[in-house]
Chains A and B, each alone.
Chain A
Amino acid sequence: MTPTARPTAGSDPRLLLLDERDNVFVVRERIRSGETIAVSGMPITVQAALPLGHKIARRDIGPGEKVVKYGAPIGSATTAIRTGDHAHLHNIKSDYTPTYHLDDVKAEYGSSE
């Protein structure tokens, strides 16, 4: 892990902070849907399962604000992201090129995964 990566006080130990400047945590162990976990001192009930490697907001992030991970901007919030929200394609966009994904077609055609 990056030298400063660590769990933080007030947050679930399955959440990893990569850099003090970050406004997102990385999920280092799968968190199940419906679990209530601590995020920056607040109890948050997880609405959908959070797989390994996904991000959740460490604090409130306003629309247009930079999302920061590894201490560096990784894109901009497209909507208000609240502390504990899953931070991903539905609320972050690249400042360079749009992200290609198959989430919409999975919903349309079904997925056997």
Chain B
Amino acid sequence: MTMRGYLRADGRKGIRNTIVVGYLVECAHHVASEIAIPFRDKDVHVIGFPGCYPNSYAETMMERLCTHPNVGAVLLVSLGCESFNKYKLEHLVRESGRPVQTIVIQATGGTRKSIDEGRTFVGDQRTRFDAMETVPIAVGELVVGTVCGGSDGTSGITGNPAAGRAFDMLTADGAACIFEETGELIGCEHIMADRAVTPALGRELEASVAKAARYYATLGYGSFAAGNADGGLTTIEEKSMGAYAKSGSSPISGLIKPGDVPPRGGLYLLDVVPDGEVRFGFPNINDNAEIAELIACGSHVILFVTGRGSVVGSAISPVVKICANPETYRRMADDMDVDAGRILEGKATLDAVGREIRDVVLGLADGQRTKSEELGHQEFILTYKSFEPIGPACLPAA
């Protein structure tokens, strides 16, 4: 395998050379989508923030996403009167060495003129990119995130532990791996804390899960959907034990929050539950909100384990779909990259499927594409949240 990537000015490397079209309020969403339509199969992805009120979490997320190593150029689309700090975002993207342009619909003269101007920018960048040189990229330069969605009673037995084995292999080769959803680690906090590289980090891990338990208790629902119950999961603790298996068995090197990029290789927990009093609603309103946060932390690839059968992909980083349930796999094979249900049927071992997942990840830097990429999935969602910066115990020095 020859892994190649795109070298960025900050030294990070991408495995894709995506052009992002980012809307800065819902009122600019349609124009952004129309700009991207002619480039449907050419790695032009639409992301954005729908809110008109300012939110520092959302601004940080947009900044990290627009300067993600998989992103080569950025077009920002503003209506003109929204509160988003477009000046700072454009400045930071330009500072990162990426071509960037902001179209302000009200100044440009409306929908049609903005679409035309945006398509010109995107077309020019695409042409330039086609001639761009690639450089070798090593496993140790990759950041890989994992999420589970549409979980069922098979997820915790096949797909999640297999993803955990892949994480063990990737971290052994120096990659940074991120697992998340503290609301789906409820009941696992103590066994997880024992894996922290320092006792102080262990306490931070426990505190993050306690925060999630409080947050969800106030909202009255756990991170648990009706389909989880149809699939045989009875309680949030049961779902958590299965989800926790995605983390593998490596020591836990740190606790990060959305937008924090792991400083070095190792295994990291992403705390996705907002700090402070409960406001703005559910921590993550669906799986794609979690995926966007993993990508904002620099994830080049997302491992997505599903039992019921999710079909989603994402803007910016490829999503590898690992199907835990053999019946679901047979029904939805076109959407699935890895058939982990074979483990349940005695046709493959956890280690073998773990290796297969690792090889799929590495192949994505060698010209391979995921099923969700081939099918054009580019889901993206970003909503209001509020975080405090991580404390000093969260990232112990190596």
Dominant secondary structure of chain B at its interface with chain A: loop
Q: A72-B187, A101-B229, A102-B226 are in contact. Are A2 and B157 (CB under 8 A)?
A: yes
Q: Which of B36-44, B54-62, B233-241, B381-389 is the interface stretch?
A: B233-241
Which of the listed residues B187, B238, B242 has the most CB atoms from chain A within 10 Å of its own CB? B238
Q: A92-B234, A99-B222 are in contact. Are A70 and B241 (CB under 8 A)?
A: yes
B232 and A94 contacting across the interface, CB-CB below 8 Å: no
**How long is the Cα–Cα vector from A81 to B342 in the complex, in angstroms?**
31
A106 to chain B, nearest CB (A): 9
**How long is the Cα–Cα vector from A95 to B236 in the complex, in angstroms?**
9
Q: Is A59 an interface residue (CB 8 A)?
A: no
Q: Is B5 an interface residue (CB 8 A)?
A: no
Interface size class, chain A: 35 or more
A94 and B237 contacting across the interface, CB-CB below 8 Å: yes
B242 to chain A, nearest CB (A): 8
A73 and B153 contacting across the interface, CB-CB below 8 Å: no
Q: Is A69 an interface residue (CB 8 A)?
A: yes
A97 and B245 contacting across the interface, CB-CB below 8 Å: no
A99 and B241 contacting across the interface, CB-CB below 8 Å: no
Q: Is A53 an interface residue (CB 8 A)?
A: yes
> Which of A73-99 touch B at CB < 8 Å?
73-75, 87-89, 92-99
CB contacts (< 8 Å) of A39 on chain B: these are none
B155 to chain A, nearest CB (A): 8
CB contacts (< 8 Å) of A101 on chain B: these are 226, 229-230
CB contacts (< 8 Å) of A5 on chain B: these are 157
CB contacts (< 8 Å) of B158 on chain A: these are 1
CB contacts (< 8 Å) of B226 on chain A: these are 100-102
Q: A52-B232, A99-B224 are in contact. Are A1 and B344 (CB under 8 A)?
A: yes
Q: A1-B161, A2-B245, A72-B241 are in contact. Are A89 and B234 (CB under 8 A)?
A: yes
**How long is the Cα–Cα vector from A26 to B161 in the complex, in angstroms?**
16
**How long is the Cα–Cα vector from A102 to B228 in the complex, in angstroms?**
10
Q: Is A51 an interface residue (CB 8 A)?
A: yes
CB contacts (< 8 Å) of A57 on chain B: these are none
Which of the listed residues B221, B226, B232, B242 has the most CB atoms from chain A within 10 Å of its own CB? B232
**How long is the Cα–Cα vector from A67 to B233 in the complex, in angstroms?**
13
> Which of A27-57 touch B at CB < 8 Å?
27-30, 51-55
A53 and B241 contacting across the interface, CB-CB below 8 Å: no
Question: Can you give 22 contacting A-B residue pairs, CB < 8 Å?
Answer: A1-B158, A2-B157, A18-B157, A26-B157, A30-B327, A51-B231, A52-B154, A52-B344, A54-B153, A73-B237, A74-B235, A74-B241, A75-B237, A89-B229, A95-B237, A97-B186, A97-B213, A97-B224, A99-B234, A100-B225, A100-B229, A102-B229
Known: A52-B327, A97-B236. 13 other contacts (CB 8 A): A27-B153, A53-B154, A53-B232, A54-B232, A55-B232, A74-B241, A88-B229, A94-B222, A95-B237, A96-B186, A96-B222, A98-B222, A100-B222
